[in-house]
Amino acid sequence: MPQFLTTTDPDFDAAFAALLTMKREDAPDVDAVVAGIIADVRERGDAAVIELTERFDRLSLTPESMAFSAGEIAAECDKVSPEDRAALELAAARIRAYHERQMPDDQRWTDGAGASLGWRWTPVSAAGLYVPGGLASYPSSVLMNAIPAKVAGVERLVVACPTPGGAVNPLVLLAARLAGVDTVYRIGGAQAIAALAYGTATIRPVDKITGPGNAYVAAAKRRVFGRVGIDMIAGPSEILVIADRDNDPDWIALDLLSQAEHDESAQAILVTDDAGLAQAVVAAVEARLQTLDRRAIAGASWRDFGAVIVTRDLDEAAMLSNRVAPEHLELCVADPEALAEQITHAGAIFLGHWTPEAIGDYVGGPNHVLPTARSARFSSGLSVMDFLKRTTIARMTPEALAAIGPAAERLAKSESLQAHGLSVRARLDRLNREGGQ
């Protein structure tokens, strides 16, 4: 049974605070191992990557076989059923259409002082996408990472995906091809992150690395951050559903379970102003749990981290949701647009009864890589912006420099940065001499 809280309970505040600070993940400390692997790949390059792949993935590679050939990719893609292919193509098209709208504009203007100012966006030159092997090898995540990169204009996009014992998911390769990935490497773990960040004789280094991974991959990404850009370090998935009384408890139960089935550390929370619905959803979850193949995982998540909160009204529900800052937020209420106006912190909002969160995982269009562990308080989901950077632009005319240069000179002096001031003064002196001629 999950926690069952009611906001009118005298000890609700303490219980809710405990829910917020609950530790859901006990990440093993693999940092020393990862540091050794990165140092090894930096020193020995391909040879280290090949040895580590042999050891961890039971796979013998040569520099030539590190990447899938075009023929190998085509052969794997041919194994995909027409139905799966059509679904993946629909998803790719919708994700692309959504992310194309995210492309920001360059700006340039001249202000009252005569200064021409602005900024320009340019893409990262090369990006590497990590795709886990095995159970968590999701073709949808390939689309969600690769499409924003290509929309941004990334020239060279590579994937690293371990293939333990040589096993590969054809849908992952098809997703990579649909998204425009240039090269897919059969490597994984910290050694793949090190190779992407520092390069080897065979693998050219990239500028940005994104994508999910296990504790070794996460530790390696933290370590190479600065050398390359990285996306967020994702934690276990979360959903918070705000529901009023007019809901089918079974739908809500399935939405909660669709997060819980990801991971024993996932968290599903129902917040409702109707105690009757709360009870009905709990019963529906129990009933559905019996039928799920992944009931052990989903059941553990629901039992250990699930929560049902009954509030006085929906305003209170929104306020509590903002304190959680959930990764996914469903608003299953009569007027979801009005309630959405009250939401200040959430990774993604799904409005109304006909928008199960699973739609957003695959075909909605928005990205499914979203901030977890309350980080929606200060960060956003993956987007085209993650593969772009902004260069600011300034151009002074002599008149503009005459107007604002003296203030710069004054501030430089106040900060004891003499050459700063002189670089302005030398130009102002020229203007004064020429003005006096």
- Can you tell me which of 84, 182, 274, 316 binds a copy of itself, judged by CB under 8 A? 84
Distances (CA, A) of 373 to 4, 61, 235: 21, 38, 6
Q: How far is CA 247 from the centre of its chain?
A: 31
Q: Could you say which DSSP state residue 204 is in? A: P
- Contact window for a copy of itself (CB under 8 A) among 7-15, 39-47, 180-188, 352-360: 352-360
Structure tokens, 209 = 């690395």
Complex with a copy of itself: residue 69 or 379, whichever CB lies closer: 379
- 191 labeled part of a ligand binding site: yes
Report strand pairing: 229-230 vs 208-210.
parallel
- 399 labeled part of a ligand binding site: no
Q: Is 207 in the site for a copy of itself (CB under 8 A)?
A: yes
Please confirm, yes or no, whether 99 is among the known catalytic residues.
Answer: no
Q: How far is the CB of 6 from a copy of itself (least distance, A)?
A: 26
Q: Is 350 in the site for a copy of itself (CB under 8 A)?
A: yes
Tokens 């409702």 correspond to 272
H/E stretch holding 110: strand 107-110
- 237 labeled part of a ligand binding site: yes
Q: How far is CA 31 from the centre of its chain?
A: 22
Complex with a copy of itself: residue 6 or 398, whichever CB lies closer: 398
- Residue 144: partners with Cβ closer than 8 Å, 6 or more residues away: 95, 367, 368, 369, 382
Q: Which of 76, 261, 328, 330 is catalytic?
A: 328
- 198 labeled part of a ligand binding site: no
Handedness of CA 252, 19, 274, 296 (dihedral sign): positive
- Can you tell me which of 48, 52, 91, 181 binds a copy of itself, judged by CB under 8 A? 91
Q: Which of residues 148-167 bind a copy of itself (CB under 8 A)?
A: none
- Can you tell me which of 60, 65, 397, 432 binds a copy of itself, judged by CB under 8 A? 397
- Can you tell me which of 106, 111, 246, 313 binds a copy of itself, judged by CB under 8 A? 111
- 51 labeled part of a ligand binding site: no
CA–CA separation, 416 vs 188, rounded Å?
51
- 214 labeled part of a ligand binding site: yes
Please confirm, yes or no, whether 327 is among the known catalytic residues.
Answer: yes
Q: How far apart are the two ends of the chain, measured CA to CA in Å? A: 88
Q: How far is the CB of 147 from a copy of itself (least distance, A)?
A: 14
Distances (CA, A) of 412 to 4, 103, 327, 398, 400: 60, 37, 45, 19, 18
Q: How far is the CB of 373 from a copy of itself (least distance, A)?
A: 7
Q: Which of residues 211-240 bind a copy of itself (CB under 8 A)?
A: 226, 228-229, 233
Q: Which of residues 283-302 bind a copy of itself (CB under 8 A)?
A: 288, 292-294, 298
Q: How far is CA 8 from the centre of its chain?
A: 36
Contact 157, 182 (CB under 8 A): yes
Structure tokens, 240 = 């918070």
- Can you tell me which of 88, 152, 203, 307 binds a copy of itself, judged by CB under 8 A? 88
- Can you tell me which of 426, 433, 434, 437 binds a copy of itself, judged by CB under 8 A? 426
Complex with a copy of itself: residue 180 or 398, whichever CB lies closer: 398
Q: Is 264 in the site for a copy of itself (CB under 8 A)?
A: no
Q: Which of residues 358-377 bind a copy of itself (CB under 8 A)?
A: 358-367, 370-371, 373, 375-377
Tokens 């041919």 correspond to 78
Q: Which of 76, 264, 327, 330 is catalytic?
A: 327
CA–CA separation, 354 vs 359, rounded Å?
10
Q: Which of residues 43-82 bind a copy of itself (CB under 8 A)?
A: none
Contact 159, 185 (CB under 8 A): yes
Binding positions for Zn(2+) are 259, 262, 361, 420
Residues forming the active site = 327-328
